[in-house]
Amino acid sequence: MAMEPDQTVNKKIKWPLLLFSAALLAVGNCGGPLIMRLYFLHGGDRVWLSSWLETGGWPINILPILFTYIRRRATQGPTARPILMKPPVFLASAVIGLLTGVDDYLYAYGVARLPISTSALILASHLGFTAVFAYLLVRQKFTPYSMNAVFLLTVGAAVLALHASGDRPKGESNREYYIGLFMTLATAMLYGFVLPLVELTYKKAKQAITYTLVLEIQLVMCFFATVFCTIGMLINNDFKAIPREAREFGLGETKYYVVWVCSAIVWQCFFLGAIGVIFSASSLLCAILIASLLPVTEALAVVFYKEKYQAEKGVSLVLSLWGFVSYFYGELKPSKKTIKTQTTETEIPQSISIPCVSHPWRWLRSFAISEDENTASTLHIPGSGGGRSRLAPRGSMSPANQHRRLTKAIRNDELKRRIFRLGLTRRSATAVLENWVGEGHRVSISELRHIATHLVKFRRYKHALEIFTWMEDCNGYRISAAEHAISPHPFNEMMKLYMATSQFQKVLTAILQMKQNNIPVVSSPTTFGWMHVLGDIEETEKIFVEYESQCRKYDVRVSNILLGAYMRNGLMEKAETLHLHTLKRGGCPNYKTWEILMEGWVRSQNMDKAVNAMKKGFSVLKHCDWRPSPSIVVAIAEFFEKSENIEEAKRYLKVVRRLGLASLPIYKSLLRTHASAQQPTQEIFEMMKEDEIDLDDEALAHLQTFAA
């Protein structure tokens, strides 16, 4: 599978984020059962409430999401999106959240009936379910070490079946105890399905998976799980029982609510740590970490709750530790081999025998050359499972040339990897390029533009701009006239990046440099927009004329920008002329066109045209959320008031009501118009009542005058 850029970035943050997520997972996995058991031991008996607390702390995630948005806005400017999640990911997260809600209830029921040491060890069996579902859903690859770990940890949990009822709490029947065992086992099975399902969501999401997106997924999952548990609490009347239960709680009413808060926080640590480990590594590693934390949970249960520590639990503990060591030994062994391979990967022997690496197709995919199938030869890659890749036309490339191309592909992939490792920090891509060239490597203009394109795709505007700036500063990388004929000059792309990074003062400088070097400006709504923002209407007009001479399909968004510039500068005659010209050219006005014209006509006191523009704006988008500015709508009503044109004011009110724009200021203006003309206002008050408009002091005064 080809490595995407966002995955390359994740390579850099893998270990720090993995360790942080593992720490959160450890806190939640060990502390969650202890606090939940504390609730049940001291008089709590609301299972739905306990399950609600597992995800009820979801608002905590809003803080880091808000922080990351502030950082994105600081680096990307106004273009930064407040929410990264797309609808398909939201829907998948909602479904997983509902499954998590079911799992919360099953788990809370099991903890209420079983000692912590027993329930924790039974839950370790979820590792076996995770392994099965990970293989089915995400095609998880197993090594002898990981298979051994799964086997040992699963057997460790199964050992508890020997003398299972020996640690049954006092006063609890066999039936209740075995129902608790069954519920806990069902919890393990369901959560073993949820973990790979989260990983599958990451893989199938058609967008870059960043840690910010992971936080948003966590927020949605916990929200829907909480909604599910809230419905259960309502049906079970748990909300009514909470005050009574708090008064009767063994540790006191205050500590009852403290247990609530601590439980919500600790369980959020668990869920946030779990999805973080899946994001940094895999669902299988997450399951192994949960199972491997059993020794800590066991020790804490014995220390705090004086639970029995039978021989079966000791055997299970040893097997769990053995499985944990087995898995990580298997992970570290290939890592050392990969590091050794990477140090010599550019020294490919002349026979083009490629070392067997973990992702052999990652760099070959970017290197593969599309040729006609009848003339394509194949090259066998040792260690790739017998696969073949079309690399060159038959008979047109010697082994030496093939060797050079393969070396170049690997080298360029390394440059791309270095730049993406910079992440969103303030480190400069220019320094990476200087070091790359200083090491004696070569890179072409097309390769640099390819890297910059990927950076822009993932909103890495700063680094993309640094690449283009470096190309312009280095004589050997300036684009030629012939290359410009094939694709737009980097100045056009730099201009967009200046806008994206809020460096507006450099936009006009870039345009002037392009003119001095006879480089055509690629016309776009963005270009025109910033030209008129910079206050150069004449220059905007020239670019617009150039656009019209070259465009094949008329884009009304372009003419709207010039139209808005005319309107803001009081040039309504030019605006009307441009509007008629646009219609002749086949341009189809959109709601923004009519909004601009309406505002201009209001300013020039041409209210008939303004009202007509409002109607046409709504006719373009009948079921839209667009609304004209309230100040403009009120200004039209006040114009009719000043002109004492009561009939036009009534007709205007009908239009406003039909469009759903009626408001108190408009009605007050009409009341004043009627009062000035000494006309009855009863009909107006009836319309206000129909529109549910609340009366203020002025309107009440008119009403009292009418009543008198």
Query: Average pLDDT in the 560-574 region?
Result: 78
117-126, 437-446, 633-642: which range is least confident on average?
A: 117-126
What confidence score (pLDDT) does residue 306 get? Answer: 67
Tokens of 467: 């690449």
3-state class (DSSP) for residue 242: helix
Q: Which of 112-121, 174-183, 340-349, 376-385 tops mean pLDDT?
A: 174-183
Which residues, listed in sequence order, are joined to residue 332 by a DSSP beta bridge? none
Separation of alpha carbons 104 and 98, rounded Å = 10
Query: Model confidence over 300-339: pLDDT tens digits?
Result: 777 777 666 666 667 767 776 777 677 666 665 554 444 4
Contact 112, 29 (CB under 8 A): no
Return the CATH number of 523-628, one of 3.20.20.60, 1.25.40.10, 1.10.3720.10, 3.20.20.140: 1.25.40.10
Where along the chain do its domains lie?
5-334, 523-628, 631-708
pLDDT of residue 30: 86
Q: How many helices (H) and strands (E) does the chain have?
A: 33, 2
| Separation between Cα atoms, residue 5 and residue 84, nearest integer Å | 17
Residues 664, 693 contacting (CB under 8 angstroms) = yes
Q: Is the pLDDT of residue 676 over 60?
A: yes
For residue 230, pLDDT beyond 90: yes
**Least confident span in 105-109, 160-164, 656-660, 702-706:** 160-164
Rounded to whole angstroms, the Cα distance separating 160 from 601 reads: 82
List pLDDT tens digits, range 57-80.
889 889 889 988 888 777 766 667
Q: Which residues pair with 380 in a beta bridge?
A: 388
Tell me the average pLDDT across 242-268. Answer: 88
Rounded mean pLDDT of the chain? 71
pLDDT in tens, 340-389: 444 333 333 333 333 333 333 332 233 333 333 333 333 333 333 333 33
CA–CA separation, 227 and 216 (whole Å):
17
- Give the best-scoring range by mean pLDDT among 101-105, 117-121, 400-404, 448-452: 101-105
Q: What local confidence, expressed as pLDDT, does residue 229 receive?
A: 92
Higher-pLDDT residue of 390 and 704 is: 704
Q: What is the predicted pLDDT for the residue at 107? A: 84
In this predicted structure, the answer to whether residue 35 has a pLDDT above a threshold of 80 is yes
| Range of lowest pLDDT (21-25, 234-238, 411-415, 428-432) | 411-415
Alpha-carbon distances, residue 24 vs 30, 120, 265, 267, 394 (angstroms): 10, 18, 11, 10, 56
The residue among 303 and 505 whose pLDDT is bigger is 303
Secondary structure (DSSP) of 173-199: -HHHHHHHHHHHHHHHHHHHHHHHHHH
pLDDT band at 44 (very low <50, low <70, confident <90, very high): confident
pLDDT at 530 over 90: no
User: What is the 3 state secondary structure string of 67-116?
Assistant: HHHHHHHHHHHHHCCCCCCCHHHHHHHHHHHHHHHHHHHHHHHHHHHCCH
Question: Per mean pLDDT, which range of 54-63, 198-207, 338-347, 481-490 is the poorest?
Answer: 338-347
Q: Which of 424, 449, 496, 420 minimizes the C-alpha distance to 79?
A: 496
Predicted confidence at residue 454, as pLDDT, reads 78
**43 SS3 class:** coil
124 and 291 Cβ atoms separated by less than 8 Å? yes
Under the banding of pLDDT at 50, 70 and 90, the label for residue 467 is confident
CA 459 to chain centre: 13
pLDDT over threshold 70, residue 693: yes
More confident call, 524 vs 127: 127
- Read off the pLDDT of each residue in 158-180 and give the average, rounded to a whole number: 64
Question: Taken in order 347, 349, 355, 360, is the CA torsion positive or negative?
Answer: positive
